[in-house]
Amino acid sequence: MEDENTLIAENSTLNDHFNGELSELSSRVFLDRVGEVNFSLNSTGLSWKPADSQIDDKSSCIGRKYHIESAAEIKFSDVYAAESADWGSICQSTRCCFMHQDSEMYLFVVHAMQRSKAKASLWHLAEYTFGHSDQLVCKLIVNKIKSYLAKQIGRPKSLLVFVNPKSGKGNSQNVWGVVAPIFSRAKVRTQVTVTERAGHAFDLVSSMTNRELISFDGIVAVGGDGLFNEILNGLLSSRFKTKYPPVPPDFMASPGEESSASVPYPSEINAGIEDGVCSTADEDVEFSFPHERFRFGLIPAGSTDAIVICTTGVRDPITSALHIVLGKRIGLDIAQVVKWKTTMNSDIEPSVHYTASFVGYGFYGDVITESEKYRWMGPKRYDFAGTKVFLRHSSYEVELSYLDVKSKNTDPDSKDDDLIGGVESSQGLKRKCERIICRTNCKVCNTPYTGMMKSKWLKTRGNFLSVGAAVMSCRNERAPDGLVADAHLADGLLHLILVKNCSHALYLWHLTHLAKKGGSPLDFKFVEHYKTPAFAFTSYGKEGVWNLDGEILRAHKLSAQVFRGLISLFANGPEV
């Protein structure tokens, strides 16, 4: 740290070089591959435009990775680093660098994000190199930018990073090598662990004390949805203390018997968060949910990366890294899944699991079970296993109870009495999807519940090819719109999708609609779709196999409940 006399001297020199007050600075500097520009800096960002002697020529040097505009304005919310670069060369021409108009001077570099012109959700690295003959000017500009960046709210300082070397195609370590410099430039400390086995990240996170955990601003998973799910369960299983999900009164009874089990009432939906019982403490340090500071980050390197696609809009490691270092935040619903019985005749031994994306039975469970035999094939094993399961065409007799919830609107002028968080409830189950897509600053996710909830259990039973429960849309490269195009990230609802037993041709038709952009996979008579905050499931077969975020979960009786916005991600939502 400079002493007071040094700071006074620097500020005096600053006034000699800049026009105006210290809160708004301007000077002539040179921008690499553009030329001399009028550079301005204030509390919101920086900007430049060509000096009077410069021609506004947008031609670029051969070989540059991105185009530098002759005039631009960049907000500090899009800047993640600034650094001095000592003495170096600046290309002063607005034309090709082969004009040999290079000059030697002192340099400083500003690092920022730049949205792709083709797709707004795709973010690129932008690097702007400036030069000046006076080293002190460069130093003072960099220090001023750093002081403004330090005032940006929510940016992480320290992160716990897990890298799964076996995720996807096995290139997670290479992916981390590509994005790690972004964290270094942003001065974010990273404690990196390369996992050595399944459950490694779960064990480390679940065994950490609250004091150890809150020394970090968040946890970053470099891998697929499976690694994220493992870390999520490691955190919640040891800290999230709440009651089991609500189930219908007869859920615990055997066929023909009356239930004597004590179960939560439907009114306890989301009570854990609202009543403050979702926290635990050790060493006098509390870790509550949702946490005001702690967030999860996910850098894609998996087989499908559905969570990343749903929360950032793209499957791109650079974009995800920029979301993290820039301190973006979005709430995410989490479903608490309870396995009550493994088989029809087993004892009731509830075990709790958590998911942020999807849990599926029937076709989905069979595919994940079959794919385990072909792990050596990598991600292609899912296509191979899916084809085998499709040809097998197995159906399962199940019973599902789902909680139909209405919200009493507090607006006396409103005639709509079945809104939850601003979206349609499960009343009117066969209505066509309105496709209100979840996006950045989503109004649905940001709308609070409107009054007291009224609820009742509804039931459906039959032979189904598949049962799916989606917390989010679950977009991926095989299903560009996801399982449910209008599913939201933080509305407190999950989507039950039940596909009744039908012919091979009809089921293929349904799957074809899932696989194409703009398809309507829910608009079939053999497909049932329910929006609900909780459901309960009973299989009438020997056992049930579920796919829980790519992991096998055997459950004959199962229930689930959604907790609205339980965790936060370093993400901004898709820029649709």
Q: Which residues are catalytic?
A: 225
Cα–Cα distance, 402 to 182 (Å, whole number):
45
CA–CA separation, 548 vs 527, rounded Å? Answer: 21
- Exposure letters 444-455 (e unless 16+ CB within 10 A, then b): bbeeebbeebeb
Give the Cα separation of 538 and 40 in Å (integer). 65
Cis peptide preceding 255, ω within 30 of 0: no
Query: What is the distance, to the nearest Å, from the Cα of residue 292 to the centroid of all Cα atoms in its chain?
Result: 16
Please, is 540 exposed, middle or buried when counting C-beta atoms within 10 Å of its C-beta (0-12, 13-18, 19+)? Answer: middle
Spatial distance between the Cα atoms of 538 and 559, rounded to a whole number of angstroms: 9
CA-based end-to-end distance of the chain: 45
Sign of CA dihedral 225, 230, 232, 237: positive
Q: Which residue has the tokens 């006399």?
A: 5
Tokens of 351: 């075990």
What stretches of 370-431 adopt beta strand conformation (E)? 396-407, 419-420, 423-424
Which residues on neighbouring strands pair with residue 159, listed in sequence order?
190, 218
Strands 295-300, 218-223: pairing is: parallel
Selection from 294, 279, 303, 280 nearest residue 231 by Cα: 294
φ and ψ at residue 184, rounded to 5 degrees:
-65, -45
Whether 217 contacts 186, CB under 8 Å: no
CA distance 491 to 565: 8
Q: Are 493 and 423 in contact (CB under 8 A)?
A: yes
Helix H or strand E encompassing 212: helix 210-213
What are the residues facing 299 on neighbouring strands? Answer: 222
Distance CA 333, CA 568 (A): 9
CA-nearest of 222, 225, 507, 514 to 358 is: 225
* Eight-class DSSP state of 150: H
Of 369, 363, 361, nearest to 507 (Cα)?
363
Q: What share of the chain is helix, strand, coil (3-state, %, to 5)?
A: 25, 35, 40
Cross-strand partners of 79: 112
Distance CA 410, CA 250 (A): 33
* 3-state secondary structure at position 455: strand
